[in-house]
Structure 1
Amino acid sequence: MKLALILNAIVPTIGGVLIRGEKGTGKSTAVRALARLLPEHDVVEGCHFGCDPSDREALCADCRERLRAGAMLPHHKRRMRVVELPINASEDRVVGTIDLEAALRTGTRRFEPGVLAEANRNILYVDEVNLLDDHLVDVLLDAAAMGVNVIEREGVSFSHPSRFILVGTMNPEEGELRPQLLDRFGLCVDVEGIRDPDERVLIAERDAAFQRGDHEFANEFAAADSNLSRALAEAIGRVKDVRVTAGHTRLISSICVEAEVLGHRADVVIDHAARALAAYRRHGSPSREDIYDAATLALAHRARQPVRRDADDQTTPEHGEEQEGSQQSDPEGGQPQASESESATEATSEESASSSETGQQSAGADTGVTAGASSGQESAPEALQTFNLRRIDLPRQRRVRKQGGKRAASQTPDRRGRYVRAEPKEKVSDLAIDATVRAAAPMQRERGRRHGERLMLERQDLRQKVRERKVGNLIVFVVDASASMDAEQRMAATKGAILSLLQDAYVRRDRVAVVIFKNRTAEVVMRPTSSVSLARRRLERLSVGGTTPLTHGLMAGYKVVKTELLRDPTIRPLLVLISDGRGNISMFKEEPLVEAQKVAALIEAEEIDALVIDSARDYSHLPSVQHLARVAPMYQTYAINACADLADRMGAHYYGLYDLSRDEIATAVERELGRGR
C-alpha cells in the first residue's frame, strides 16, 4: 500500500490506486500521512482550482483571461491536501454545476465548483468507492485520466483542470466494482489485518501515544518522515530523466501476455510505475526488479494468471541496459530499497492468497467434513453449472428510486435516464429548457418584452426534468442447509439455481443476499452485494448437515429485508425461500411448524414479495403417508405440503425444485418480481 501511494505521488499519470481490504487496516491514515510528506507547490492566488503559474497549458479559463489582459499571476506556496468525496455525493457535488437560470436570464456562464475542482493538484480520497454509483466512478476515472473536467448542461459547457492523485478504498464483501471500472485504476493492492498478538499490541500502544500527543513518539519517527519526504521530492524531479529501452518494454509486454491480461492499459501503467520506482530507488533505468515490482501492483486486479518472477533469461532487458539500470545508490538513511522489496513481497503473497481464494476454492473446502447426514456430520456438495436465463423485465414504477439497475423502468432523482416529461418545482436542479420556454412564452407581452430582447423569465416558469431509467432489486435467498438437503443432490441443484440467478442479477444490477440455516441457528453468509465472485466463493464453501431451524432462517431473511428498507425505502425486495419446509428446531419454544407459519404471516403482513421453491418431492398425497400420519401423530406434519402451506401464508408463489426446468426457474423469479401490490 505504501509503495503504491508513493509511485502515484511521483507519477500521477499512473492512474491512481485502489486499496481493497477489511475495515480498520489504516487505509485512510496512510493516505493522509502521504499528503504531509509531499513537497509544497506554487498555486495562483485567488484561483478556485489552484492552478500552477508555471504551466500555461493547464491554466483555467479565469487565469488565462488574466494573462491575456496583461495581468500578473501572483502565487504562493501550498501543501497538497486530501479532498474526501462523501459516499452520498450527488453528481452536481462531484463535477460542479452551471447556473442555467443565470445563463438564460443574463447570457453569462456562472460555474459552481465541485469536488473535482477542489481536488485539482491534490489527493482525491474516495472511501467505499464500490458503493458509489457507477456513473460517478466513471466521471472520477475520466477526469483522472484526462486531467480535465468538462460539464455540459443544455448546450452550455464549462471545463477546468482536474489533475489529482486518485485513491479509492473498498471492502470486497460489500460488493465489487464492475470489471471495466476496476481496470481504470492504475494500481491495486490488497490489505489484511495483522494476526500476530504482539504486533497488534504495538499498534494499539502507538495509536494511544499519538492520541496523547506524545513528543517522544513523534520524535522517534520524525527523522524517517524527513528522509522519506526528501526522497519523494528528489524522485519527482528525477523521474523525467529515467530511460526506458526497447528491452524494458518487451519485458513488460511479455509479463502482461504471460498473465493473460486483457487490453493494453496494463502495459502503459507498468511502464509509468517502473519509471517512478526507478526514480525513487535512484536508478538511471528500471531494473528487472523494478519492473516486476511495478507489474505486481499493476496486475493485481488484471491478471488472469499469476505473475511469475522466475521467468527465463530471454525475457530480461538487454544485458548492457540492465547493468546500467542496476547501478544504484541508496537514499539517505538506508531508505527505501529494503522496505520496498518487502512491500512488493507482501503484495505478491497477498495477491496469491486472494487468487487462491477466488479461483482455487473447491466445494469441499470445509476440512474434516464427510458425507453422512444421518450421523450429524456435514458435507459440501458440488455446485451445478450455471445456465442462461431468459430476459426478466419488470413493469414500470412511478416511485423515485436511488439505486440503479437494468430491471424495471422507474423515476430517478439524478440526471441519469431518459427525459420523459417536465414538471414545475420550487428548486430546479435539472432544467427542462423546452418546457421552461413554453411556460414563459405566453407571458412575454405582459412582462414588457420587446422584439429582439432576451427571453424574460421568472422563477415560476422554470420546469424540472422527470427522467426514467432501469432499476434493480434486492433478492434475499433463504437457503436450507440441513442434512435433508444432502439427499438426491438437492443442495447441488439449489447452488446451480442460485448461481444462475446471481449472474442474471449482476447483469441487471440487482443486489443479492444469502441466508443459510442449519443445526440450531441461521447465518447471513452474504450481506446485500452485487459481487458474483464473492457469492460464488460463499456458496462453494457452503456445507450441509444437522437439523432444520426453519423459523430462524425466515426471521434472518426478514431482518435483512427490513434493514435494507430502512436504509432505502424505495428498493424492491424479494425473499426466496429454498427448503423442504420440515422445520424441527424451535425458536420461540413453540411447535416449529407453527412458528414458521407465524413468521410467514408476518412477511405477508409487511407486504414483502416472496417466492417459495420446494427442494423436496411432494409425497404428502400418497396413501401410505396419509396412513402413517393417522397411526403415528409424530408424522402428521408429513401429511401436508409444508412449503406450499408456507407459500400460501406468505402470499407467495410455490414451485417445486424438481418440477421446474431451468428456464422455468427464471420465469418464476420474473413473475414474482413483476407482481404489484
Structure 2
Amino acid sequence: MNQNYYPFSAIIGQEAMKKALLLNVVNPKIGGVLINGEKGTAKSTAVRALSPLIDKKIVEMPLSISEDRLVGSIDMEKTLEGGSVYFEEGVLKKADQNILYVDEVNLLQDYIIDILLDVSANGMNRIEREGVSFSHQSDFILVGTMNREEGELRPHFLDRFGLYVNIQGEKDPRVRVEILKNRHAYEENRQVFCQSFRDQETKFKGLISEAKERMKQIIVTEENLQKIISLCLQANVMGHRADLVMEQTAKAIAALNGRIEINDQDIEEAAFFALMHRQKERSPQQQEEENTDSQEPEEEPEQRENQPELEDDDAPSEEENPHPEQDEEKQSEKDDNNKEQPKPGKPQTENFEIGQDFKLKDFGHRSDRRVRRGQGKRTNSRSASKSGRYIFTTMQRKNNDLALDATIRAAAPFQGQRKSNGMAINIREEDIREKVRQKKIANLLVFVVDASGSMGANQRMVETKGAIMSLLKDAYVKRDKICLVAFRGEEAQVLLPPTRSVERGYKLLENMEIGGKTPLNAGLTKGIQVIKSELKKAPELMPMMIVITDGKGNVSLADDKKPKAELFEIGEKIREFKQINTMVIDIEKQGMMRFGIAKELAGMMNSEYRAMDELNSDKILTMVESIRGTA
C-alpha cells in the first residue's frame, strides 16, 4: 500500500461520497462525480485514497493549468533539432483510461471548461497547432470537488458529471473525536497507520473486482427502464442524460450489492445520486421534498426584508408631487390599479407571471481591435494572453507566443546562406513571428425595469419578464452576465445581481412585484453603479444598459431638484460614459396625453430609442440585436 495516501477505509462517515466514488470505479460509463461540500470534509482525501484500491491512476489537474499543458503542445527543442514536429503530451493524454481529478472545479477558467466539455463528450482530444493537426483518445472518469460558497458551476458543465453528492461536516461530537484520533495517528506514523487498515483495504479491492465482473452479467429489464423514466419525469429533468446515467448507476449499485438483477431500491438510490443536480427548481414537489440545501432559503429572507421597505416607499404622494399635471395622469393610472385596494392608505403590489420565453438570435458587439483579457462566448476580441484562436502572425514582439510555422517559413529562404550549427534550421531574431489570437469576450446586460403601478397595464410586465428570462438562458451559453434592476416606490433595487444562473434568475423574476411610484432617476443611477462595479472586476466586459420605462419619473434623488431636471442631468452623465451602450424602450401609451419624456431621455443619453404601444418580448430582442449589431 502507498503510505502517502490516507486509507479509503479509514475515512469515517461520508458514506454517500464514498459510495459515489466506488460506483464510478465499478462502472466508468456513469460519467464521473461532482462532490460539493464544506472545507475540511475529506473530499480530496477520499479521491486520492482511491488510488491504492484500483488499477487506475489519479491524474490531478491544477487550477492554473494552461491550454497547452492541458491538451498538449509542440516540443520546441525536439522540433528544431530533428526538423519535424514533435508533440508533448498533456494532462488529457495522461488521463486516458484513468481518473481526472479537479479540485475546486468551479474556479476553473471558462476556456479550460470548454475544452473539458468537448473532450468528455466524444472521448477524443484534438490538437490544432502551427498548421498541424493531431488527435488521441482521452476517455477518463471526471471527478470534481468544490465548495459552492466560492462560486457556482456552469449548468452545462454541471450536467456532464454523472453523479452529484452534497456533503457536510460530522455533527456528532463522538464521531468528530474519532476523526481527530485517526488523523493524529496517521500523521504520527503513516506507515503503521496504513498497515492497520490493510485488511479493510484488501476487502475493498476484492469488492470492486467482483463487482466489475458482475457488471457483465447484469441485464436491465423493461420494468427497470419504466421505473427510471418515471423518476426522471417526476424530477422534471432536462434532456435524456439523466436517464442514461441512472441506468448505469443502478447497474453498478446492484453489482456492488452482489446481485445481477436490478430492483426498485437500486433505481431509487441511483436517483438520489443522478438527479439532485439536474432537477429543475420549478417543480414544486421536488422543491418541497429535496431542495432543502438549495439557495431558496437564503434568498427568501432577503425578499421578506425588502418587501416592507417597498411598501413604506409606496405611500400616497399627493402633497409631494412637483408636477400636478403629470401626476394627475399618473395618479389616474394608480387609481385604475388600486380599484380593488381593500385598505385605504396601504400600498398595493401585484405579481405577474413570467411570459413565454423564445429562441434568441445572435447579437453582440461587433469585433474590434482592442486587446482584452477575460473569457466569454459572445463577441470576438483580440486576446492579450496565449489563449484563443490563432488567426494570423505579426513581427511585433509582445507576449512570446511563438508562431512556429510562420517563423520557419520566414527563415527557410535563407538557409542556404546560414550555417546550420548542428541544427536542422537556423533561426535568427528577424525571423521570429508571434501569434495574434482571437477569442470571445463576455457581455454584461443590465435591464433597468420600471416596476411601478403603471407596468401592470396590458400585461407589460409579463412580456418584460419573458424577454429577460430568454436572455438569461442565452447568457449562460454565451457566458454573458445579466442583471435586473427594478425601480418602484422611492428607490431602485438590484433584484437579480449579475449572474448566469437560470434557476436563480427564474426564481427572482417570478417573485418580482409591481406597484407604487416611479423613481426612474434612482433606477438609472443604480444601473450605472452596477456596471461600474462589474467593470472594476472585469475591465474586458462590454456592458449595455437597457431601460424599459415611460420616462415619467416622479421621485428625485435630491430634495432640492425636480425629477425631470435631475433625470436629464443623469442622462448627460451617462452619455459621457463611453464604455457602455444604452437603449431606451418607451412603454408610454399612445394618445393625445403622450409626454414623450422617454424619447427626450434617449436623446440626452445618445441611446437607441424605440417606442411601442404593446410591450412585446420579440420586439425587445430585435431592438437589442439592432443596437448591439451597430455598436
**Same topology, TM > 0.5:** yes
How much does 1:263 deviate?
Answer: 7.4
For 2:104, which of 124, 127, 130 is the aligned residue? 127
Aligned-partner SS, 1:513: strand
Q: Once the two structures are aligned, what percentage of the paired residues are identical?
A: 34
* Secondary structure in 2 matching 1:573: strand
Q: 2:212 aligns with which of 236, 240, 248?
A: 240
Return the alpha-carbon distance in structure 2 between the equivalents of residues 174 and 522 of structure 1: 26
Deviation at 1:376, TM superposition (A): 0.9
Q: Which residue of 2 aligns with 1:382?
A: 353
Letter of the structure 2 residue corresponding to residue 288 of structure 1: D
The aligned counterpart of 2:144 is: 167
Pairing partner for 1:32 from 22, 44, 54:
44
Alignment of 1:318-357 (within 5 A): 349-350=289-290
**Counterpart of 1:600 in 2: which secondary structure?**
helix
The residue that corresponds to 1:69 in the other structure is none
Give the CA deviation at 1:542: 1.2
| Alignment counterpart, residue 561 of structure 1, candidates 520, 524, 531 | 531
Partner secondary structure for residue 548 of structure 1: coil
Q: What amino acid sits opposite 2:602 in the alignment?
A: A
- Evaluate the alpha carbon distance shift between residue 658 and residue 146 of structure 1 in structure 2; reply closer, same or farther with a 3 A threshold: closer
Give runs of aligned pairs for residues 189-200 of structure 1, distance below 5 A.
189=165, 191=166
* Alpha carbons of structure 1 residues 521 and 105: separation in structure 2 relative to 1, 3 Å: farther
Aligned counterpart, 2:75? 99
| Aligned CA distance change for structure 1 residues 266 and 421 (closer, same or farther; 3 Å) | same
Superposed displacement of residue 103, structure 1:
0.9
- Give the SS at the match of 2:496: strand
Describe the superposition over 1:305-345 as per-residue Cα deviations: whole angstroms up to 9, x where unpaired. 999xxxxxxxxxxxxxxxxxxxxxxxxxxxxxxxxxxxxxx
1:326 corresponds to: none
Cα RMSD, aligned residues only: 4.9
Q: CA 1:384/1:92 → structure 2, altered by over 3 Å: closer, same or farther?
A: same
Counterpart code for 1:254: Q
Q: What CA distance in whole angstroms lies between the structure 2 residues aligned with 1:615 and 1:28?
A: 53
Provide the rounded CA distance (Å) in 2 between the counterparts of 1:463 and 1:474: 35
Matches within 5 A, 1:179-328: 179=156, 181-189=157-165, 191=166, 202=171, 215=181, 232-243=204-215, 248-258=220-230, 259=232, 266=242, 269-283=245-259, 286-300=262-276
| 1:73 corresponding residue in structure 2 | none
Q: Secondary structure at the match of 1:669?
A: helix
CA deviation map 1:419-467 (0-9, x unaligned): 245444355436251x2233213432331359x9833223542323324
Q: Distance in 1 between matches of 2:607 and 2:32?
A: 48
Once the two structures are superposed, the pairs formed by residues 65-80 of structure 1 within 5 Å of their partners are none
Q: Which residue of 2 aligns with 1:549?
A: 519
CA distance change for structure 1 residues 151 and 348 in 2, over 3 Å: closer, same or farther? farther
Q: In the alignment, residue 492 of structure 2 is paired with which amino acid?
A: A
User: Could you say which residue in structure 2 is the equivalent of 1:632?
Assistant: none
Which amino acid is the alignment partner of residue 496 of structure 2? M
Structure 2 letter corresponding to 1:379: E
Secondary structure at the aligned position of 1:515 is classed as: strand
Distance of 2:573 and 2:375 partners within structure 1: 29
Matching residue of 2:314: none
- Counterpart-to-counterpart distance in 2, 1:206 and 1:614: 65
Q: Distance in 2 between matches of 1:273 and 1:429?
A: 45
- 1:527 paired with 2:497, answer yes
The amino acid across from 1:136 in the alignment is I
Aligned in 2, Cα 1:467/1:35: closer, same or farther, shift over 3 Å?
Answer: closer
Secondary structure of 1:658's counterpart equals coil
TM score, norm. by length of structure 2: 0.71
Contact 2:490 2:517 in 1 (8 A): yes
Q: Does structure 2 conserve the Cα–Cα contact (< 8 Å) formed by 1:478 and 1:554?
A: yes
CA deviations on 1:643-675 (whole Å, 9 max, x unpaired) are 334323322223234267665433422332245
Secondary structure at 2:391's aligned position in 1?
Answer: strand
Q: Distance in 1 between matches of 2:240 and 2:473?
A: 27
Q: Which residue of the partner structure matches residue 319 of structure 2?
A: none
Deviation at 1:562? 1.6
Give the 3 Å change call, closer, same or farther, for CA 127–480 of structure 1 in structure 2.
Answer: farther
8 A Cα contact 1:129 1:137, kept in partner? no
Give 1:139's aligned residue: 115
**TM-score (ref. length: structure 1):** 0.67
Listed as ranges, the gaps of 5+ residues in structure 1 are 43-51, 56-79, 308-345, 358-365, 626-639
Q: Is the 8 A contact 1:111 1:158 kept in 2?
A: no
Structure 1 residue 474, shift from structure 2 partner: 1.4
2:577 is matched with 606
CA positional deviation for 1:380: 0.5
In structure 1, C-alpha distance between the alignment counterparts of 2:360 and 2:255, rounded to whole Å: 52
Separation in 1, partners of 2:394, 2:424: 23
Give the equivalent residue in structure 2 for 1:651: 606
Q: 1:15 aligns with which of 31, 47, 55?
A: 31
- In the alignment of these two chains, the number of paired residues is 557
| Structure 1 residues 461 and 671, CA gap change in structure 2 (3 angstroms) | same
Indicate conservation of the 8 Å contact 1:603/1:650, yes or no. Answer: yes
2:388–2:437 Cα contact (<8 Å) kept: yes
CA distance 1:18–1:447, change in 2 (3 Å): same
List per-residue Cα deviations over 1:590-632 (Å, max 9, x = no partner): 436255444433332222221122233367x74xx9xxxxxxx
2:20 aligns with: 4
2:307 and 2:51 map into 1 onto residues whose CA distance is 52
2:623 is aligned with 1:668: yes
